Amino acid sequence: MRSLSLVFLLLAMSAYAQTTAPTVAEAQEFMDKAETQLADLSVKVNRASWVQENFITDDTQAMAADAIDQVTAVTTQLVEQAKRFEGLKLPPDLSRKFMLLKLSLTAPAPKDAALRREMTEIGVSLDADYGKGKYCRKTGECLDITAIEKLMSTNRNPEELKEVWTGWHAIAPPMRQRYSRFVDLSNQGAREIGFKDTGALWRAGYDMKPEEFSADLERLWNQVKPLYLSLHTYVRWKLAEKYGPNLVPPDGPIPAHLLGNPWAQEWGNIYDLLGVQEDKGGVNLTELLKKKNLDPKGMVKYGEGFFTSMGFAPLPETFWQRSLFTKPADRDVVCHASAWDLDNLDDLRVKMCIQVRGTDFVTIHHELGHNFYQRAYKDQPFLFKNGANDGFHEAIGDAIALAITPEYLHKVGLLENVPQASNDIPELLKQALDRVAFLPFGLMIDQWRWKVFSGEIAPADYNKSWWALRLKYQGVAPPVARSEADFDPGAKYHVAANVPYTRYFLAHILEFQFYRALCRESGYKGPLNRCTFYGSKEAGAKFNKMLAIGQSKPWPEALEALTGERQTDAGALLEYFAPLKQWLDEQNKGKKVGW
């Protein structure tokens, strides 16, 4: 009897130990260990993923899957263990770390090891399928996405464009069943850590309730929608003039294959079809780059130079030794441009199949924005080594890219003479074709995905719902009939690779807020669209102050540090494009707006 009583006593003591209220000190100790563990694992994942995307083989896929599986398992376990501290009043910094730990997985996985492993392997395989994707023509020529983007940017034959568009989208149907399974597994993981589904988890990462965030996106879209409709109306009737009303209906959606891009997400490549009279001496950035005989690495040097002109330190020598600047001739790589911080300190890199053209020059400035942001917050604790929100990370380089004006090109020796600014419309239209045309696309990707995660869009309706949303937001339509035998979302990298996309919509709003603030800080006076802050140490110091905050504070505080504003707002974007909006509305008189 006595020995039995002792067992009961020990069990009771154990239960008591597990139910005693945790202390702040214990929470701090737990978090310190968690950050150390996650920092170490993140470097392993970064290295494995870098190799996998640069050398796509079965072996590298397996290595990346192993690393991702390990960090997913540990993070899932830590989130579970962190529940012990729920309800404990913690210092603000520590409380924020617990929140960010819970939100740290974009693909939360089930606790069950076999299911978690299955989900990881599916994710890696979808990323690899996209990277290996090719369309082989009847001639035997096989085109990867880099070649397809190049072809669609210049080809004006609608039948050939339709063929290539259809050919690229044919890479995706084999992904469909695996993607559906990935959604199910990720949702299970999200529910296990307290979220309704993975989409709800994603929306929780913006320092507001998920439903408040959805409402804020709608507010921003309604701010910019009139400008987009004016642009859409103008582009549609100009394309109808080029291709005829049978191909481009004057009051309907625009066929997606005619907009100069495989996804119709940016329209800058069809500027030449819009019949805009430019002043003599208009700037053609691609021609300027070729005239200088620049190679890809030389283009990246210009991007670095913009940041160093503002007072930032040059990129480390390892950046130039370890980055990928051009597509290798002997192997498949994931060519989608990306910026990397492999060791969370100084091992910064870009991976990009650079072509000598204006759009890539702009993209380089964007990607380096990630790298300089990463280095600015490198001294923060691990869970604060990130953008204030993911829209911030995308907006940094885009704010710099807006400052690629003729005056900047002249200052760096690419342009001999700055043209007279007697007519800003051509340049504003070029900018709008990329930045304004992108807005509804940037919004609809995750509108689709959140509905997929919530179950509102069933697997049987993936493609139908995708095109319904593209029609609703973008006013574009597929060039050929689509069915559920297709899986057109998978032909977009960010869907195949499970990268949240609302960040890009937010970035296209925030970049103008950042840009206007940097222009003001540099002392610039004049029309917003003509500003460059290249060389302004004052702007650079204010910029770095925001960047160094990382994710240590709620994003409104980071926004306020640079702009003095605490709300994302499209006012700066609308100010920038105000002369164009007025011009478009004059051109569109008598034309049907909308579709």
Distance of alpha carbon 37 from alpha carbon 14, whole angstroms: 27
Q: Is 494 annotated in the active site?
A: yes
Catalytic residue among 266, 304, 367, 511: 367
> Among the options 135, 373, 408, 504, which is catalytic?
504
Joined tokens for residue 582: 């007025």
Side-chain half-sphere exposure of 149, counting CA atoms within 13 A: 20
Q: Which of 169, 232, 366, 508 is catalytic?
A: 366
Catalytic site residue 337? yes
Catalytic residue flag (residue 370): yes
Q: What are phi and psi of 154, to 5 degrees?
A: -125, -25
> What does the alpha-carbon distance between residue 474 and residue 547 come to, in Å, rounded to a whole number?
33
Q: What's the one-letter identity of residue 416?
A: E
- Annotated active-site residue 367? The verdict is yes
In order, the DSSP letters of 433-502 are HHHHHHHHHHHHHHHHHHHHHHTSS-GGGHHHHHHHHHHHHT-EE-SS---TT--GGGGSHHHHTT---H
| List 232, 336, 365, 393, catalytic entry | 336
The SS3 call for residue 559 is helix
The DSSP 8-state label assigned to residue 47 in this structure reads H
Could you confirm whether 504 is annotated as catalytic?
yes
Helix axes 24-54 and 92-102, enclosed angle (nearest 10) = 40
Catalytic residue of the set 370, 462, 517, 539: 370
Please, how many CA atoms are within 13 Å of residue 592, restricted to the half-sphere of its CB? 10
Using the structure block, give the residue that is written with the tokens 């968690």: 34
- How far from each other are the two terminal CA atoms of the chain, in whole angstroms? 84
**Among 243, 494, 560, 578, which one carries the catalytic annotation?**
494
Catalytic residue among 394, 427, 511, 521: 394
Distance of alpha carbon 200 from alpha carbon 454, whole angstroms? 8
Catalytic residues: 336-337, 366-367, 370, 394, 494, 504
